Chains A and B, each alone.
Chain A
Amino acid sequence: MSLEPITFWGLAALLLASALAVVLTKNLFHSVLYLALSLTATAGIFLSLDAEFLAAVQLLLYAGGVVTIVVFAIVVTERLVGDRITQTSRQLVNGFVVAGALLVAVLIFIRSGPLPAARPGVTGDLTAAIGLMLLTRYVLPFELLAVLFVAALLGAIYFARPDE
């Protein structure tokens, strides 16, 4: 037995367990920490798909950036210890039915189509290929992304401005 299925199932189990903990745990701060774990496990899945650059981006932007921002938001809106940080869930049955129905529908759809079981071999450096395509064929969306970031930055500053 090769090492690849073990890696995949281990990462998948870690990812799904931490994702379940994100949506089920009572403490909001613990939720964010489990989210960091599941984002790191996703980076591992990317690695198992030979996407090293995306795994690095995932770790830097998600597990580094997003988690930090969310922790800041929790510090501002709740106390880190005490009763207020506990969060309750509502409509557990409804949520389970909706999510379960969607899952079953998607799984049936996945099983119906012919999907490749083996991946083609890696040809050349994927990171170099991504960089080349980003600055040739996809250069316009890439520039638009910069515009989006400026807009998001201005919006966040506008929202967070002190009261007059």
Chain B
Amino acid sequence: MGLQAYLTLAAVLFAIGLFGVVTRRNAIGILLGIELMLNAVNINLVAFARFWGDTAGMIFTLFTISITVAEVALGLALVILIFRVKRTVIADHLDILRG
């Protein structure tokens, strides 16, 4: 398979993730969409690294995977904190910062 096939697959996956982020109302659902988008980026990085024979892309993938895990842990901690305060995780109902 050529590089184009991998890039196309990643682009479709990214679009699906974006669709999820835009349409989901539950904060956890939005986080799942972000996960899909980051996965698409990882596929791109690994594909470029493999087809250009440069290991640096795989190192970057290692970093993005690690940072994503930290991001998800913090994001879900925030979601749980918001749930304790507001008793909801629906993004539309969160207006704490409204003046």
Hey, which chain A residues are within 8 Å of B51, CB to CB? 115-116, 119-120
What's the count of A-B pairs with C-beta under 8 Å?
219
Q: Considering only CB atoms, which chain B residue lies closest to A106 in the complex?
A: B11
User: In whole Å, how far is A78's beta carbon from the nearest beta carbon of chain B?
Assistant: 8
Known: A42-B42, A57-B65. A23 touches B17 (CB 8 A): yes
- Measured in the bound complex, the distance between the Cα atoms of B12 and A106 in whole Å is 9
List the A side residues contacting B15 at CB < 8 Å: 99-100, 102-103, 106
- Asked if A22 contacts B73 (CB within 8 A), the reply is no
Contacts of B4 in A (CB 8 A): 110-111, 115, 117
> In the complex, are the beta carbons of A42 and B23 less than 8 A apart?
no
Residue of B nearest to A111 (CB): B4
A144 nearest in chain B by CB position: B63
CB <8 Å contact, B11 and A110: yes
Tell me the minimal C-beta distance from A16 to chain B in angstroms: 6
CB distance from A105 to the nearest CB of B (A): 9
**Bound-state Cα–Cα, A92 to B23, Å:** 6
Tell me if B23 and A126 are in contact (CB < 8 A).
Answer: no
Q: Is B97 among interface residues, defined by CB-CB distance under 8 A?
A: no
Given contacts A15-B13, A22-B32, contact A110 B26 (CB under 8 A): no
- Cα–Cα distance between A90 and B25 once the two chains are bound (Å): 7
Q: A94 — which chain B residues lie within 8 A by C-beta?
A: 22-23
Cβ–Cβ contact A141 & B63, under 8 A: yes
A51 in contact with B9 (CB, 8 Å): no
19 contacts between A and B (CB under 8 A): A23-B36, A38-B39, A46-B46, A48-B1, A51-B61, A54-B65, A61-B65, A61-B66, A73-B28, A73-B76, A77-B79, A92-B23, A95-B23, A102-B15, A103-B12, A107-B11, A111-B4, A159-B80, A159-B81
Told that A130-B55, A145-B66 touch, could you supply 20 new A-B pairs with CB distance under 8 A? A8-B1, A49-B47, A51-B49, A51-B61, A73-B76, A76-B83, A92-B23, A95-B19, A96-B19, A99-B22, A103-B11, A103-B14, A103-B15, A106-B15, A111-B4, A118-B2, A120-B53, A152-B73, A152-B74, A160-B81
